[in-house]
Each structure stands twice: as C-alpha cells, then as structure tokens.
Amino acid sequence: MLSNAEIMSNAWKAGVAIPAFNVPYLPMVEPMIRAVADQDSFAFIATARVEWTKFDARGPDAVIAEFRKWDNPAHVRIHLDHVPVIDEDALRVDFLSIIGKAIDLGYGSVMVDASRLDLAGNIEATRQVAEMAHEAGIPCESELGAVMGHEAGPLPPYEELYESGMGFTDVEEARRFARESGCDWLSVAIGNIHGAVSGVLRDAKKVEARLNIHHLNRLREAAGLPLVLHGGSGVKQEYVLRAIKAGIAKINVGTDIRQAYEVALRKSGNVADAQDAVYERTSWTIRDQLRLAGTQRVVTGITGLSCPDSPA
C-alpha cells in the first residue's frame, strides 16, 4: 500500500491535488469516504485539534477508530491536521505529546502548526516534529505565514488583507524554512483563510477568497516542496484550479462540508439526513469545484493514465 508521502509525491508530479476533508463530527467519516470512492478520486481524511476542542470529533483516537470502520485503501488515507504550538485562544499546546500519540495510533502523516511563533521558533518546533515523524517513516507538514480565520473576533476586511498581503508567506523565509525545518509539505498563505470556529461566525458563509498565483509561483520555486492550501472552502474556483497547476498538491476543505452537516442536522434532527448532506457536498467538491473526479489512478501511481485536463 502506498504511503501518504508517495501519494502526495505522485499528485505533485502529475499536477493534481489531494483534497483533505476535515472531520469535526464522527458521523461525517463514512459519507466522505463513500463520496471519494464514488467519484473515483483520492483524499485524505483529516482531523485537527480544533475539531476536538471546538466541535465533537472527540480526539485522534476516536477519529482513527471511525476511519478504520470504513477505510477504503484504494481511495483514502488518514492525516493528522493542525496541531498548534500556540492555539487560536493564544494558549500553549503540548504539541509533541499529541503528535506522538497520533503517530502511535497509526496516522500516516502529521502536521504541526508553529506559525504563531517567529521564524526561528517555527523552524525549531517543526524540526522536532519532522524528526519524530521521519523516525516513524511518515511525512511532516508545517505552516509558514498566517492563514487566518480560526482566531476569536472579526478579521479585517478581506480585500484589505488581500491587497496588503497581510500574513502572506514570505518567499525568502520559505526558502530558509524548507532548507532548515525538515518538513516535507508546506502550507502557505497566499490569500486563503480558515473558516471561523468560534461564536456566531462559525455559521457564517465564508468570504469568497482569491489567491495570488504569482506569489504562489515564487514560493514553489523557493521551497521546492509540495505545497498545501488550507482554507479551501469558499476560494473562487478559477483560483483553485490555477493553484493546483502552480504546485498546490493538497487542499484542505472543512467549513463547506461541516456547515452542510450542521444545517441538515438542525433542519431534520436526523443524523442520516446530515450524512446525506455530507455525501452530496463532498461529491460536489471533488467533481465540480476541484475537478478531481477520476484522479485515483493518477495519484496511486498506476501507469498508462494521463492526467485529466483542468481548465486554467
């Protein structure tokens, strides 16, 4: 069975992306996996610490147990998403313990988010996690720049953020980070934002974000690593498709599918209806938004299949 590292490498070389679907509620796992298989695609099923503390994913052990009930190795792998060094409430997190536990549980890749530290601190924290992950034979993802949205309170107007480049990943810092941190995949900030996770804003529709593709091209050349787009929900499709061609090999999708689950559950009170909503939204995301239906054989490395065409 191919590893998460091999899957990502294949996607990166083929110019396609792996969607990573986040799990804030355990009943979402089964319809997500079913949708990925039915679209003949490939995805990571991902869980982040914020989904245990702000929602009802319960923890990495509960998520991987649910994943194993429905695992379809031809189409999915499990990934540990954001484990922050400093969280969205400005609290220090025992990140090494959490990530070490996930590795022991069998997660195929892990992510440390030390982006709230200065550059040297981010490099050092990532290096510690990368060494731990590599000893276990799995890849490490990290983040450089500020993909905002999880923090409590309103953000500045989106256009102000975008036009100013506030929080964008610095090109020269990316070059140094890739060289010194030991990370295998790098999450970058190029106009993307996370969905809100606190208060009334968590139910709000995400802003329709843009991506600075010129800046992404410079980051790709500087880092020389598979790049990751967090906050994939709500980004204008034309930018997403161009970003995939420009080196984004993994796209995290959380808010759109979480809100589909929550709305359906509130409306009917029936988990099965909420699961149907997850299936439909996941299918739509793969097929219509990301144009990644039919890419399973590309990323699993089966030869003789050309990469499907995507519009620019």
DSSP codes, 263-312: HHHHHH--HHHHHHHHHHHHHHIIIIIS--TT-HHHHTT-TT-PPPP---
Q: What per-residue confidence (pLDDT) applies to 306? A: 39
What is the Cα–Cα distance from 63 to 197, expressed in whole angstroms?
19
Is residue 9's pLDDT more than 70? yes
Is residue 112's pLDDT more than 90? yes
Question: What's this model's pTM, rounded to 2 decimal places?
Answer: 0.88
Q: Where are the alpha helices (DSSP H) in the chain?
A: 4-14, 29-38, 49-53, 60-70, 95-105, 119-135, 158-164, 171-180, 213-223, 237-245, 255-268, 271-284, 296-299
In the chain, what are the domain boundaries?
Answer: 4-299
Is residue 234's pLDDT more than 90? no
What is the Cα–Cα distance from 18 to 280, expressed in whole angstroms?
18
* Phi, psi (deg, nearest 5) at residue 221: -65, -35
Helix (H, G, I), strand (E, B) or coil at 56: strand
How high is the mean pLDDT of the chain?
90
Q: Burial-class residue 157 by CB neighbours within 10 Å (0-12, 13-18, 19+).
A: exposed
Q: What per-residue confidence (pLDDT) applies to 36? A: 98
Q: What per-residue confidence (pLDDT) applies to 200? A: 44
Q: Tokens 């990290």 — which residue? A: 142
Q: Tokens 């990573």 — which residue? A: 20
Place 305 in a pLDDT band, splitting at 50, 70 and 90.
very low
Q: What per-residue confidence (pLDDT) applies to 191? A: 87
Place 274 in a pLDDT band, splitting at 50, 70 and 90.
very high
Place 159 in a pLDDT band, splitting at 50, 70 and 90.
confident
Place 209 in a pLDDT band, splitting at 50, 70 and 90.
confident
- Which fold, 4-299? TIM Barrel (3.20.20)
Q: What per-residue confidence (pLDDT) applies to 195? A: 52
Helix (H, G, I), strand (E, B) or coil at 120: helix
Q: Between vectors from CA 170 to CA 208 and to CA 87, what angle results, nearest 5°?
A: 70
Is residue 78's pLDDT more than 90? yes
Mean pLDDT of 237-246: 94
Q: What per-residue confidence (pLDDT) applies to 204? A: 58
Is residue 196's pLDDT more than 70? no
Q: What per-residue confidence (pLDDT) applies to 154? A: 60
Is residue 10's pLDDT more than 70? yes
Mean pLDDT of 181-210: 73
Q: What per-residue confidence (pLDDT) applies to 47? A: 97
